[in-house]
Amino acid sequence: MKVLFFKKATLKVALAIVVFFSAFLLNLSGLPVGHTYCSASKRLPIYSVQTDENKVAISFDAAWGADKTREIMSVCDSYGVKATFFLVGFWIEKYPDMVKEIYNNGFEIGIHSNTHPDMTKLSKNEIREELTTNIELIKNLTGFTPKLFRPPYGYYNNNLIEVCDELSLSCIEWDVDSLDWKGLSASQIAGRVTSKSKNGSIVLFHNNSDNIIDGLKLVLEHFKLKQTSVVPIGQLIYYNDFTINIQGTQIKN
């Protein structure tokens, strides 16, 4: 029994030494520990951005309903900010005039898939079809080719990231979830967002949640008082010469 315990302890020590020296050698190479560098085993989307600037991005996923979309834009405009709308294909087909209005009012448009499936259950060809169909719907209505994609439910895998790369799409998640879709009150929505946001955060809202209008007003008022710039995601992220660490934070090289 003592021999067995000794062998286990020795193995643990050996593993610890390997981990330590791996980290040490990584530091010698000039790369920070805890970052991914085009690892073939794990590809990551962008959850947030590392920046010293006092700025965040807000976004709205649109899949069901459009009643509050125009008022969302009006609230944003009253605070002098723009946001990103991620649009699902069947939403675009149902509300084509609203898509044009979002674009013409200077808000950023990204894609959110064509049919809102779990993308991790699709083949690469099926993923590509979801994304290219979504892109074409927006392009046909606005003349604009989206460069941002948000996976439905936030689900992703290597196949999805690789297809996004092929289509020159930045795959976008979020690090601040308002949970507005759960029927939270305006103050609860604002409390979550303002307490969790930091420089470079990406905030997730939905365009037709119950208390989004009043919640958005509280959030934007808070950012105004904190002199935090609110920008579309496309003005926050980097498009080249970057890495993404294991937390999904995009870092400029």
Residue-range domain boundaries for the chain: 2-33, 48-252
Which of the four CATH numbers 3.20.20.370, 3.40.309.10, 3.40.50.300, 3.30.390.10 does domain 48-252 have?
Answer: 3.20.20.370
pLDDT score at 6: 38
pLDDT score at 26: 35
CA distance 159 to 42: 10
Nearest residue to 217 (alpha-carbon basis) of 175, 189, 242: 189
pLDDT score at 41: 79
CA distance 189 to 180: 6
pLDDT score at 42: 86
pLDDT score at 5: 39
Averaged over successive runs of 10 residues, the pLDDT of the chain (253 residues) comes to: 42 42 36 37 94 98 97 98 98 98 98 98 98 98 98 98 98 98 97 98 97 98 98 97 97 96
